[in-house]
Each structure stands twice: as C-alpha cells, then as structure tokens.
Amino acid sequence: MAVVPRVLGPTDFGRFEFLTANFKLVLDTLALQLPVAYFNWISRKGHKEGTDYATGFTFYWTIGITSLFGILIYAAIQFGISDWLWPDVQVRYLWYALAFTFVVSFYQLCISLADGRALTVGLEKIRLVQNVLKTAGILLLFGWGLLTLSSYFLVQSAVVCFSIIASIVWLASRKALSARLLKFWSAEKAEKVKFHQFAISYTQPLIITMLVGFVFLYFDRWFLQIIAGSSQQGYFALSERLGTVVFIFTSAMTPLIMREFAFAYEERDMARLSGLFERIKIFIFIATVAGCFMSVQSKAIVMLFAGDKYSEAIIPVAIMALFPIHQTFGQLSGSLLVATGQTRLYANLAIAVMVVSAPMAYFLLASPDFLIPGLALGATGLAIKMVLIQFLGTNIQLYFNTKFLGTSFQQWLVLQVKVIGIVYSIALIAYFTSGYISSAILLSLNTYSITQSLFDAVIRLAISGLLYDMLIVAILAVAPNLFGIEKRDLTSLFGKLSPEALKISLGPKC
C-alpha cells in the first residue's frame, strides 16, 4: 500500500480496483452461490464423509463459469460495448483481470476446503509466504522501474498460482483431497445425489438475491466510473484498501466461526450457538479499535501511504475506516443465518437492503444538473453509502438472529453505539494531544516542505498510537464490560488460557 498507489497513481490504481471488484462480482454471480454451499457442506460433513466429489464438481464449475465469462468479454469487445461496460479501460487489462480473478477464485476454494476441514493453520502459513513473495515482487519491480498496471496484474497472478500449488500439496498431504476429484463423475451415485440435493436446497433461495445483488452492486462502481472517472475510483479504492487493513484483524475468524456455527447446528447444540454468537463482541471491539484510529488519522495515513496525489482521498478514508466495524459484525452475524440453513431469510433481507442501496448511491453520486439531481460527492459519496448500508443491513440481520437465539436486540444495538462512541472519543483525544506534541517537535527541528509533511505524519501517528493504546488498555483493564467483553475473553485473547477460557474457545482444531 505504500508503493503501489504512489507508483500507479489514482487513475491506474482506480482501473485495477474497478476491474477486479467488477470481475469478482460477475464470477460470483455466474457461480450461483455454489462455492458458498460447498464451504457449508465441507463444514458440516468434512469431518465424517469424503469430499472429493464436492471438491471436484466445484472445481470444474469454477473453470466453466470463468470460460463463459471469457466468451462474454470477447463478445463485448467484438460488438463494441466493452467501453460502455468498462469505461476508460484498455482491452488488454480486461484479460489480465480475468486471469487474476480466476486464480483468486480457485485459491479461495483451497481456503474453503482447508477451513472446512479444520486445516486453517497450514493454509495461513502458505498465505504468509504468499504475502512475502508478493511484497518482494512488487518492491523488485519498483526498484527496477518496471512497476506498471500490467506488471502489477502479472506479479499478483503469479504469486497466487504459487499459493494454489502449495495449497494443493498441503491439502493432499493431509488427505483432504486426492486425484479422484479430477474424475469426480466416477463417484458413487448416492454421494452425488446427496451433495446436489444439499447444494440446490441451499442455493435456490440465494439465486434471486444473487441476480438482484449483481445489478445493484455492479451499479455502484460502474456509476462512479461513468460519472467521476478512474481518479475518483482510485480515491475510493485507496479508502477501501486501507479499510481492509482493519478487516485483517478479524477476517480470519469469519470462516472459522461460520464452520463452528454449521457444526453446532448440525449437532442441534443451541447453547453452543448462543455462546459462539456472544463471542462476536470481542471481534467488534477489535475492529472498532483499529477502525476509529485510522478514521481519525486519515490525513496522516494518506500522506504516509499514498502522498499528495491522493489528498482527495482523505475524507473517503476517514469514512471507510469505519466500514469494517459493521462489515465484521455483518459477516459474523450473517454467517449464523447461512450456517443454520436460513438462506431464504438471508436472501430476503439482502434484497430489501439492496433496494434501498441504489437510490442512495444515485443521490450521492449523480451530478446536480441531472434530470434527478444528486450531490456529486464522488468517492466520498460512495464511502458514505457503503457505511450507512452496512450499518442498516447488519442490524436487520441482527434483529432476526437475536430472535432465533432468544437474546436482546436492544442490548446489542446499545452496545454498538456505546463501543464506537467511547473508542472514537479516545481516538480524538489521542489525535489532538499528539498534534500539540508533534507541532512542538517540528518547530524545534525546523524542517521543511514535503519532508516536514512526511515527518509530521510519522510523528503524529507514532505519538497518537502510543497514547491511544495506553488509554484503550487502561479502560479495558478497569472496565471491559463497557465494551461488552468479559475478563475471560481477554484472558483467551492474550493467550493465557485458563480452564474457564478453554471451555468457551472455538475448539481445539481452530
């Protein structure tokens, strides 16, 4: 993040993010939610039944839908509508984006299989190697002056291909897959029927959601590209990427908790379901602590990571830093609906929220001189829409989940407001205090211009981060219940597992 946006600039960085988000959405739609059903199947059955047929079928399905999308791209180019579907994007980037999206989709299948079979640790080690290689590749290209949009696509795809090969070898060594998946059609009829019946019943309610979702989600990024261009797309992309940094702290737990939800529901263990759902509070707290700090420090973070070219991204970054709070909550809460087979309810709720989403996006992005005028807020407008819709959708899901589990929706709602309010106030205190201190340091050093700006950003982040951590830890130690957290959760979080903490842990294999 400190190299790519600077070198590519807002326009090319915006193109990359627009294409990869767009193509992922298309492939997810064409997949008809089968990969989601596959993960749920593995989570429920992987510990007691063979999974080669389900893996093989999903693998070939992914190849098939990617080939179909490739044909659609070719047709769009030949009929001259590619410029309308993907504005301000050269044709070669379409093929780079297709290849990249395919290998990422295939790697995601490996992750789903590993998480579903409780082999997460091995895959996380491979992912660590992947990130090291990707960073090394980007830095080498940067050092040689060869980092362009094309080379960025290629290095990303190459490293993911390596990860796929390493993941297959690891999974095969753990007997999670075998060569039988390449001829999945030779499996016994009973195994085929069982998987297909489950997949159809699981995905059928989601198909309408998928189609409706495609229209509304595609509209957001496409309309931003049409109205504001690749530069605004780049500003939004930077804000989304930096927001994703917050999500790193909690995203690894989402598939694990979803698997445990599915397993507990398979065993009809409602007490365990309720206990797992309560554990979501600590992940909300982690996301809130990271998100509020980044939101308050958006100016320093943009200056440090992207430079003056991205000054228009400061406000979008401040807004999107808060998005992962309810993104974390939404994914963990929504996974309960999915894992317990309430896919029809999940689909209906998603459609209802998306219907509200499109008019809001139009109003925030459209020009004031349109027939139906808008605010023309560009990247800032899309960031506002994303955060508001995520908050709305998450809390609607939460209402139905609390009814299902027999807990209080009002308490959860109050907890959100209280946690975000307290933590954001602490972040502001640290921000203003660090501002006075950093200003004094800079005056004493008498530094100049761009050096001063970068140095100020580093000093402010360092001092503010230290003060912020100290205040958070102090309040957490004295009154963790302010954040809805019990002391046994803190014991577990910091690795000092007491017998009481072990009883509420996710499970020995996690």
pLDDT tens figures, 368-395: 999 899 999 999 999 999 999 999 999 9
Does residue 305 sit within a domain? no
Flag whether 228 is in a domain.
no
Residue 191 in this model has a pLDDT that exceeds 80: yes
Residue 399, in any domain of the structure = no
Least confident of 146-160, 231-245, 434-448, 475-489: 434-448
Quickly count: other Cβ atoms within 10 Å of residue 130's Cβ. Answer: 19
Say if 447 falls within a structural domain.
no
CA 401 to chain centre: 22
Q: Is 484 exposed, middle or buried (0-12, 13-18, 19+ CB in 10 A)?
A: buried
The number of angstroms, rounded, from the C-alpha of 45 to the middle of its chain's C-alpha atoms is 26
Query: Residue 481: inside a domain, yes or no?
Result: no
Number of domains in the chain: 1
pLDDT at 496: 46
pLDDT at 133 exceeding the cut of 60 = yes
Q: What angle do CA 222, 37, 402 make, to 5 degrees?
A: 85
Angstrom distance (rounded) from CA 218 to CA 25? 7
Among 185-199, 270-284, 380-394, 447-461, the minimum mean pLDDT is found in 447-461
Whether the CB-CB separation of 460 and 300 falls below 8 Å is answered with yes
**Cα(420)–Cα(325) distance, integer angstroms:** 9
Q: Which helix (H) or strand (E) holds 93?
A: helix 91-116
pLDDT at 457: 77
| pLDDT for res 453 | 65
Strand, coil or helix: 206: helix
In a domain, 358, yes or no: no
The burial class, CB within 10 Å (0-12 / 13-18 / 19+), for 115 is buried
Tokens, residue 267:
């065993």
Residue 2 lies in a domain: yes
Task: Report yes or no on 95 lying in a domain.
Answer: yes
Distance, in Å, from the CA atom of 119 to the CA atom of 170, rounded to the nearest integer, reads 9
Q: What was the pLDDT predicted at 443?
A: 66
In this prediction, residue 501 has a pLDDT band, given cuts at 50, 70 and 90, of very low
The pLDDT score that the predictor gives to residue 48 is 66
d(CA 173, CA 161): 19
For the CA atoms of 135, 136, 141, 142, the dihedral, rounded to the nearest 10 degrees, stands at: 60
Residue 500 in tokens:
């009481």
| Residue 147, domain extent | 1-187
* Cα 92 to Cα 430: distance, rounded to the nearest angstrom: 47
- C-alpha separations of 81 from 69, 206, 274, 444 in Å: 15, 29, 51, 59
State the DSSP string of 411-430. HHHHHHHHHHHHHHHHHHHH
